Structure 1
Amino acid sequence: MKRFGFSRMMLILGLLFIYLPMLILVIYSFNASKLVTVWGGWSVHWYAGLLDNKQLMGSVVRSLEVAFYTAISAVALGTLAAFVLTRVTRFKGRTLFGGLVTAPLVMPEVITGLSLLLLFIAMAQIIGWPQERGLLTIWIAHTTFCSAYVAVVVSSRLRELDMSIEEAAMDLGARPWKVFALITVPMIAPSLAAGGMMSFALSLDDLVLASFVSGPGSTTLPMEVFSAVRLGVKPEINAIASLILLTVSLVTFMIWYFGRRAEAARKRAIQDAMESMANEAYSQPEKKVVKPQLVGAAA
């Protein structure tokens, strides 16, 4: 019988510390009472009332829209930056470029948000754009922040790739952009998906940057929740948070399930190909070796 060791106990305590508050939040989202701290029975009243709360649902739609476009743009920019850092080994300013790419990872969000706010104000005074801060400025700020995470994830994957495959394709006449699109991108697809999911989650969760660069009519969900919590937690907040947890859990499960099926299909295809090659090798008859006869001139 296995002993209940210290490591297992710390693991259980860590999981409870992370997931127990989420479980409590989901339970209290079905509370019939208007007071969050007082249990009044089970009810789905607050879920049905979400449709009538246009302000909260509008912030949800805006946050999802910004997070979706941020994930796309961050993956594109981060992948290009990672490709330059890993494949272009020598160029002037490479160290500076690498530092600028990874700077948002270590820089406090308050400084980043204030810098972007001053940048947008200066651009509006000089060139007249952007005329007002809104969803566009939030998207630019989130893309700047999330591209650094994508660059780190994708660059680590690019360093592990076998470049002989790409070199073989170029030796056969493929152009560099075709090699990148047909060979490199499929091989780094898992890291691209991971970077996109990370960018989506970071953008959906961001409060500091959005608070600096947002304007009237562009309140995101974290800003709406933060302003509501300052006056007291409302049952609608628990309901919308529970729906977000459910959505994220379902999407994560679907990605894991289809990824597992794709990996199993890939391994099955490799195994079938190896078995067919082995059967073909055994089925072929042995070739008879005919020794050439030496014909000498008659003396």
Structure 2
Amino acid sequence: MANTQTKAGWPSWLILGLGFLFLYLPIFVLMFYSFNESRLVTVWAGFSTKWYGELFRDDQMMGAVWMSLKIAFLSATMAVALGTMASVALVRFGRFRGKTVFTAMMTAPLVMPEVITGLSLLLLFVTLAQMIGWPAERGMLTIWIAHTTFNMAYVAVVVSARLRELDKSLEEAAMDLGANRLAVFFKVTLPIVAPALFSGWLLAFTLSLDDLVIASFVSGPGSTTLPMVVFSSVRLGVSPKINALATILVLSVAAVSLLGWWLMRRKELQRQKEMRAAYAS
């Protein structure tokens, strides 16, 4: 029986392996050539870490990295706050006037082409500047608003899915014990959906850090993000510094993902342990 299952399962493992190879082999090749001595990214001339030093001495690149990280952090945080409120309204408030329109507007950024989103936001900022004088110029603030606009839609989808799976009897039990709705949300609902909030924050952070099209429309002088710098550099020829930067980003994302998985796994095991202790008592 075991041999039969093994023979039947090897095509699935082969397809899975080919899929992972297709996805991650280019990344591994890029990381490998980040340690190349040669300036030519496709010609191996020996092991060297000099391009990492060149990367950290590039003020323009480091400035773009810092700006992108700040915008990604701020937009992801605001997107989680707004997306969570929108999710609660959609899932917990039942039917209300304009719910269909509100749902459609929340999901529209998911399917809207980035060119249309970027152009519409640009026109919005230009019109506001002409009417009320704000924003006086496009820069980090306008990029932050634009990224928050489309990121909150992704967060709302993630959090709404978790809220729909939440057992309402837990919230009802807390209200029966005297807690008001605000206390129930912060002490019962929010801790349970915390993994979804963390997942939504990571997704929004990644999307903001990766965005090029929308940022190109709403940015201004002195507010160049990392994707814009990389795109401009690649048009003139791929520099080994780009490989070094990509390697650092890949390793950083992998480390954060592993840390997030470990924390959520630890919390889940703790919750299961508490449930078993409660049943035993």
TM score, norm. by length of structure 2 = 0.95
Structure 1, gaps ≥5 residues long: 278-299
Q: CA deviation at 1:257?
A: 1.8
What is the deviation of 1:90? 2.1
Match of 1:259 in 2: 264
Residue 36 of structure 2 contacts residue 48 of structure 2 at CA under 8 Å; is this kept in 1? yes
Which amino acid in structure 1 is aligned with residue 252 of structure 2? T
The 1-side partners of 2:279 and 2:181 are apart by 31
Alignment-derived partner of residue 37 in structure 1? 42
How far apart are residue 122 of structure 1 and its match? 0.2
Q: Which has the larger radius of gyration?
A: 1
User: Which of 265, 271, 276 is matched with 1:271 structurally?
Assistant: 276
Shift of 1:271: 2.8
Q: Is 2:241 the counterpart of 1:240?
A: no
Q: 1:106-163 CA distances to partner (integer Å, 9 max, x unpaired)? A: 1101000000000000000000000100011000000001100111111111111111
- Superposed structure 1 runs of 4+ greater than 3 Å apart: 272-275
State how far apart, in whole Å, the 1-side matches of 2:245 and 2:28 are: 14
Q: How many residues align?
A: 276
The C-alpha deviation readout for 1:201-258, integer Å capped at 9, x for no partner, is: 0000000100000001111011000010011100100001100011111111111122
1:12 alignment partner AA: G
Partners of 1:76 and 1:263 in 2: CA distance: 23
Alignment partners' CA distance in 2, 1:257 and 1:148: 26
Contact 2:195–2:264 (8 Å) recurs in 1: no
The reply to whether residue 153 of structure 1 matches residue 158 of structure 2 is: yes
54-63 vs 257-266, which deviates more? 257-266
Deviations 1:233-286 (A, max 9, x none): 0010000110001111111111112222222233233333444x2xxxxxxxxx
User: 2:73 pairs with 68, 74, 88, which one?
Assistant: 68
| RMSD of Structure 2 on Structure 1 (CA) | 1.2
Q: Which residue of 2 aligns with 1:82?
A: 87
1:211 aligns with 2:216: yes
Alpha-carbon distance between aligned partners in 2 of 1:269 and 1:210, rounded to the nearest angstrom: 46
1:112 aligns with 2:117: yes
- Identify which range, 263-272 or 92-101, moves more after superposition: 263-272
Give the aligned partner of residue 174 of structure 2. Answer: 169
Gaps of 5+ in 2: none
How big is the shift at 1:91?
1.6
Q: Is contact 2:76-2:204 (8 Å) kept?
A: yes
Structure 1 residue 9: deviation in Å? 2.0
Give the distance between the partners of 2:91 and 2:276, measured in 1 at CA. 33
The reply to whether residue 8 of structure 1 matches residue 8 of structure 2 is no
Which one-letter code corresponds to 2:220 in the other structure? Answer: G
The answer to which of 170-179 and 141-150 deviates more is 170-179
Map of 1:293 onto structure 2: none
TM score, norm. by length of structure 1: 0.89
The alpha carbon displacement at 1:87 in A equals 1.1
Match of 1:223 in 2: 228
**How far 1:174 sits from its partner (Å)?**
1.4
* Aligned equivalents of 1:103, 1:258: Cα separation in 2: 32
Please give the alpha-carbon distance, in whole angstroms, between the structure 2 residues aligned to 1:161 and 1:38.
55
Q: What amino acid is the match of 1:47?
A: Y
User: Aligned partners of 1:187, 1:148: CA distance in 2, in Å?
Assistant: 21
What do residues 45-66 of structure 1 show as CA deviations (whole Å, max 9, x unaligned)? Answer: 0111222100001000000000
